[in-house]
């Protein structure tokens, strides 16, 4: 019985491990209201699929019959030539993927050109549906949907079902060269694609679906036959630029027009007497009759810290009711798709191959843009969109950017699992954000390994917090055995002494804090060209100056020790106070400090590895630096 109690006690501690004192909070279906999707059917409308082979064949047969009967003529008024196309064959597949394991989900997402969403195609959705959709049960992997060309190779080993074989004439390249126009009995004209879609949509009650199959009225002007400036039936170029507000890069000047009063002036050229007023409001009052008045405006310029910056590396989806595609924004935030027909909805999907940002639960975070047939230039500021965007930038820089030669966090390619990042809309305060690879192991990676709780915080802190948690994940890759040992001694073993716990926690958190500071300085000081920037400013307005203003008694785990080995700033001397750490160590690199983590199972082993691996003129002060913080 004692052994069972001990095992239970250890398991509880194991489950409670997380960074920054955060609890491991799995979603409890019994504690939250679980509702069936059908309860929200009024927030979405199912569209009868007009692209089924049977419906498209019926539409083609109808057009062929009308051509033969003379009811559908050439636009020139002559009898239309007989259609060469006799039968319809599928060129697209609507597919449902149901991965059962994280490895299968990883296989599914290996192809970055395969656009996936975790809700069905074939519906018109209202925003309320996304806000109220039923939450997944604990351990449940989302079902994914896509539509692909019929000859596309699919990921092997992932369970899937073909929901529909479809024929989309707008995707049929053999029809691109057919420029013959047809006129119906209503004097409406269109090419074969337009006419075929028009008929197929009528048969399923979907006239005008996605802005397709709309015929031009005979005699309409060019402007009248356009939707949002794009000619009906013609192709257009989906593109745009995405920017996000960053409150620590640059500044923005806003000019406000303020009404401060009115001035009088002569209504005509009749002369008058000079009227003197404030703010240069002097004018002439006519000798005969009442003077005229006009408003006086004052222009006030207000400078605000922050500006819109390019949203780099974001995945943009382009979808209509039954098709979907994707592209990635470049360093300028620009994206571009091939030319196509119809109206499409732009969506920012906060996901890349290596990581997926969740909207607080287990669903994929998205920013749903407009449905249109023109470009989309969008500025993101405030709310969960900005929150997700800043988390994305932190993850993007760590996985895909310049990470100073550091080891990558766990990758989908090697682990077969995508890093799940839950964007929690709470400000964690003392419970903070969290990472735990132990939680990942217990849940098979289904639950989010990282929880970001930085809602309402400044841009640099959201960015830095994301980097911090990913640094923990990367630490587990640098030396998994040593990392497991550190975690066990710091959090799991209940009888472990206070000194060991403190030293091991200090190693875990100081390393992650060091990476956090360096990444933030690169983005906000170096790349932004702001040499005065220092990381970071607390909610009370006090700037920690890259953690150099953190006193010894303020923090025993999240220390400046790692960054102190890199910088040349001795805070005890600079601030003339023994409350601050003495730091006479400098000029180590971040990569050197990471390499010294190999084999380091404690705070002091990390120090000893640094001593033995590198030659540095200030290494004689390493003991002094590491001893600043009490056990």
- Residue 7 CB partners (closer than 8 Å, separation 6+): none
Written as six digits, the tokens of 295 are 């408003």
pLDDT at 496: 65
**380 forms bridges with which residues in the sheet?**
244
Q: Where exactly are the structural domains of the chain? A: 1-32+235-455, 37-231, 479-631
Q: How much of the chain, in percent, has pLDDT values that exceed 70?
A: 81
- Residue 514 CB partners (closer than 8 Å, separation 6+): 561, 562, 563, 566, 590, 593
- The mean per-residue pLDDT over the stretch 297-324 comes to 96
Residue 540 has pLDDT above 90, yes or no: yes
Per 3-state DSSP, the chain is made up of helix, strand and coil in percentages (nearest 5) of: 30, 25, 45
Residue 227 has pLDDT above 50, yes or no: no
- Residue 116 CB partners (closer than 8 Å, separation 6+): 97, 108, 109, 144, 145, 146
Residue 13 has pLDDT above 60, yes or no: no
Question: CB count, 10 Å around CB of 344?
Answer: 26
pLDDT at 54: 97
CB contact at 8 A, 367 and 385: yes
How sure is the predictor about 76, in pLDDT bands with cuts at 50, 70 and 90? low
Q: What is the distance between the alpha carbons of residues 267 and 264, in angstroms, rounded to a whole number?
A: 9
Lowest mean pLDDT among 103-112, 264-273, 574-583: 264-273
Alpha-carbon torsion, ordered 523, 526, 531, 532, to 10 deg: 10
Contacts by 204-207, CB closer than 8 A, 24 or more apart: 204/48, 204/49, 204/50, 204/55, 205/48, 206/47, 206/48, 206/50
> Which one is predicted more confidently, 246 or 416?
246
Return mean pLDDT, the chain. 85
Instruction: Print burial letters for 52-74: b (CB count within 10 Å at least 16), e (below 16).
Output: beebbbebbebbeebbeeeebbe
Lowest mean pLDDT among 85-89, 104-108, 384-388, 540-544: 85-89
Contacts by 452-456, CB closer than 8 A, 24 or more apart: 452/391, 452/421, 452/422, 452/423, 452/424, 453/22, 453/424, 453/426, 453/427, 453/428, 454/387, 454/427, 454/428, 455/387, 455/424, 455/425, 455/426, 455/427, 456/427
Residue 433 has pLDDT above 70, yes or no: no
Residue 105 has pLDDT above 60, yes or no: yes
CA triplet 12, 14, 16: central angle to 5 degrees? 70
pLDDT at 174: 83
pLDDT at 179: 58
Half-sphere exposure of 451 (CA within 13 A, CB side): 28
pLDDT at 408: 97
- DSSP-assigned letter for residue 439: H
- Residue 375 CB partners (closer than 8 Å, separation 6+): 237, 238, 239, 240
**pTM for this predicted structure:** 0.84
pLDDT at 494: 64
């Amino acid at each position: 019985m004692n052994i069972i109690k001990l095992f239970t006690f250890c398991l509880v501690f194991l489950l409670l491990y997380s960074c920054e004192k955060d609890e491991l909070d799995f979603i409890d279906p019994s504690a939250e209201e679980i509702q069936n999707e059908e309860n929200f059917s009024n927030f979405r409308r199912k569209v009868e699929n007009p692209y089924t082979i049977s419906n498209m064949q019926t539409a083609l047969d109808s057009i062929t019959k009308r051509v033969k009967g003379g009811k559908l003529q050439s636009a020139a008024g002559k009898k239309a030539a007989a259609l060469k196309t006799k039968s319809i064959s599928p060129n697209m597949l609507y597919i449902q993927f149901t991965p059962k394991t994280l490895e299968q989900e990883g296989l599914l997402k290996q192809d970055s050109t395969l656009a996936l969403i975790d809700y069905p195609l074939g519906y018109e959705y209202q925003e309320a549906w996304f806000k109220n959709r039923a939450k997944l049960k604990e351990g449940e992997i989302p079902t994914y949907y896509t539509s692909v060309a019929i000859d596309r190779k699919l990921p092997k080993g992932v369970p899937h079902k073909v929901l529909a074989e479809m024929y989309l004439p707008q995707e049929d390249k053999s029809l691109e060269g057919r420029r013959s126009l047809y006129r119906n009995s209503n004097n409406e004209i269109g090419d074969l694609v337009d006419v075929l879609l028009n008929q197929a949509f009528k048969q399923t009650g979907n006239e005008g679906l996605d802005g397709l199959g709309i015929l031009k009225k005979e005699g309409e002007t060019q402007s009248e036959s356009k939707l949002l400036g794009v000619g009906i039936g013609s192709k257009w170029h989906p593109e745009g630029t995405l920017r996000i507000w960053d409150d620590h890069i640059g500044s923005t000047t806003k000019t406000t027009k303020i009404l401060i009063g009115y001035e009088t002036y002569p209504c005509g050229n009749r002369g008058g007497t000079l009227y003197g007023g404030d703010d240069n409001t002097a004018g002439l009052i006519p000798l005969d009759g009442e003077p005229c008045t006009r408003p006086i405006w004052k222009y006030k310029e207000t400078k605000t810290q922050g500006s819109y910056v390019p949203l780099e590396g974001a995945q943009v989806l382009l979808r209509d009711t039954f098709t979907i595609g994707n592209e990635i924004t470049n360093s300028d935030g620009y994206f571009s798709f091939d030319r196509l027909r119809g109206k499409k909805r732009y969506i920012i999907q906060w996901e890349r191959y290596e990581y997926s940002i969740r909207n607080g639960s287990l669903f994929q975070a998205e920013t749903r843009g407009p449905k249109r047939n023109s470009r989309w230039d969008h500025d993101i500021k405030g709310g969960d969109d900005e929150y997700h965007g800043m988390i994305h930038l932190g993850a993007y820089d760590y996985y895909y950017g310049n990470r100073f030669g550091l080891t990558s966090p766990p990758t989908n390619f090697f682990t077969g699992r995508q890093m799940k990042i839950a964007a929690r809309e709470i400000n964690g305060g003392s419970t903070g954000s969290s990472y735990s690879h132990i939680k990942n192991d217990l849940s098979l990676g289904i639950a989010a390994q990282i929880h970001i709780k930085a809602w309402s915080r400044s841009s640099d802190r959201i960015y830095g917090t994301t980097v911090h948690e990913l640094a923990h994940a990367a630490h587990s890759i640098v030396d998994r055995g040593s990392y497991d040992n550190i975690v066990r001694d710091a959090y799991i073993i209940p009888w472990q002494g206070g000194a060991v716990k403190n030293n091991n926690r200090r190693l875990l958190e100081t390393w992650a804090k060091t990476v956090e500071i360096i990444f933030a300085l690169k983005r906000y000081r170096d790349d932004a060209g702001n040499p005065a920037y220092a990381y970071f400013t607390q909610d009370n307005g006090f700037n920690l100056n890259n953690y150099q203003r953190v006193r010894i008694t303020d923090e025993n785990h999240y220390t400046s020790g790692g960054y102190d080995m890199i910088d040349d700033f001795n805070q005890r001397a600079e601030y003339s106070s023994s409350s601050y750490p003495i730091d006479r160590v400098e000029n180590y690199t971040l990569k050197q400090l990471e390499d010294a983590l190999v084999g380091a199972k404690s705070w002091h082993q990390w120090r000893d590895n640094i001593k033995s691996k590198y030659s540095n003129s200030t290494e004689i002060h390493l003991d002094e630096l590491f001893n600043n913080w009490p056990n």
